[in-house]
Structure 1
């Protein structure tokens, strides 16, 4: 009995993994990530189930809650040195680097706004819209691009149509769904330009929960190895990548001062390169 009392208690793995609940009407944005999260748990042999947080929350609040190990157990986000210092990243990019490929969302009345932009110097004359706490804002500003910030993701679309800024750079994984989700605003996708900077989006967990980080890492590695990761990714985003027509766009390269030293840039299987994307641009041949 004395031996039993002296032994430290075993910490049982939580049966649920809580993630940030989406705001009403924007649930579609999380469909791929939640499927990937479930795939990772399954590949790792975990019996844990996914559960949304009690309340919807903006990204910065979700990251703060995660840092304090309260309310959520996992958040997905673009990485930065500051975020990796506060939280525990699972350094397997969930987006294959494509959050760093940005196409402009524009009001329909200004759909030719970027037609004559051929350099960063040209783009310096226009204002971009971004979330005030997004890493993208700091990246654009570091490259000398004027930015108008907002504390609300949803308000950025209305600010764009109201002329508060000139263009809204969005990931080519996001932009098509965002246009479809905002029909009253009459938004269009710019056909001329794409911005690119190296970055990665990861699952982040609390530094108090390394067990979950290891579970997700193992599951993602196994999904990469057996091809199920890539199958899921292309099922969700293959058409968006073809629709972007990158071979017909001018590519402007930006520096990313926020990229952490530990970013696994040399692991070829974690990224889609420019060459990969240009190949996906080719029309599908019917079988």
Structure 2
């Protein structure tokens, strides 16, 4: 069943929408799409643009969402920026989380909560010979390769990685953005947030448009730039994720700077 969401934000009592736009967007059963939908809606609406979002799929794995973007079945998708994606799709050149997705914390089995407590640098981490798990085509794969860290790739639905984590098995940890990890841990209480380390690389989510919707690039880019300058993006980041930052103790963590390829 299709979910419809329409928002018209008038700038004054006598204003009217100078333009309207209809977008077909993916959604996720865990609600991780909600920030991106709202950022898009409110950024465009603040510029007097009437926005209709159609979310015909209650849940789309990332790999399938990319295929639908290629086939024009969805209008746009948010992904971590990579050179390959920049060549394949039309990029809206504005970061969407102010780099939060590049700050990574490990989700680990409960018995491994203190496994990493003595790590002070990347060499210490490498010597543990632990293996991370990633979804197919994730930018993290390139980062882990560039930093000589062990990993395996899960093809298909990446969320299967939650159930693959173990102390002695093939996947020992799952690296997640600081804006993702606490809500995901709550959904998987048999896992814990590793309390000691913070991995950092230089990347962010951006919107990628299908070729059929590439003409929206200038309009969406302009709206997002203004949302950044006006404080709207900061406001939404705070509304969705600020409750996580203090509990994660980001300032007290050992920061491991990763080479960004």
Normalised TM-score (structure 2): 0.85
Equivalent residues, number: 239
Mapping for residues 34-183 of structure 1, pairs under 5 Å: 34-54=37-57, 56-68=59-71, 70-124=72-126, 125-151=129-155, 152-161=157-166, 163-183=169-189
Q: Is contact 1:43–1:220 with CA below 8 Å preserved after alignment? A: no
User: Which 4+ runs in 1 deviate beyond 6 A?
Assistant: none
Q: Is contact 2:228–2:234 with CA below 8 Å preserved after alignment? A: yes
1:176 to partner: Cα distance: 0.3
Gaps of 5+ in 1: 1-12, 258-287
Gaps of 5+ in 2: 1-18
Deviates more, 1:191-200 or 1:162-171: 162-171
Deviations 1:104-129 (A, max 9, x none): 11111111111122222222221111
1:283 aligned residue:
none
User: Which whole-Å CA distance do the structure 2 matches of 1:161 and 1:53 have between them?
Assistant: 35
Deviations 1:175-234 (A, max 9, x none): 000011113xx1111111111110011111023423322221121122223222211111
Secondary structure at 2:211's aligned position in 1? coil
Distance 1:217 1:15, change over 3 A: closer
User: Which whole-Å CA distance do the structure 1 matches of 2:192 and 2:58 have between them?
Assistant: 31
Deviates more, 1:114-123 or 1:206-215: 206-215
2:15 aligned residue:
none
Deviates more, 1:29-38 or 1:189-198: 29-38
Deviations 1:19-69 (A, max 9, x none): 1132x4x1x21221111111122123222311113474322332232233x
User: Which whole-Å CA distance do the structure 2 matches of 1:77 and 1:62 have between them?
Assistant: 10
Q: CA RMSD in A?
A: 1.8
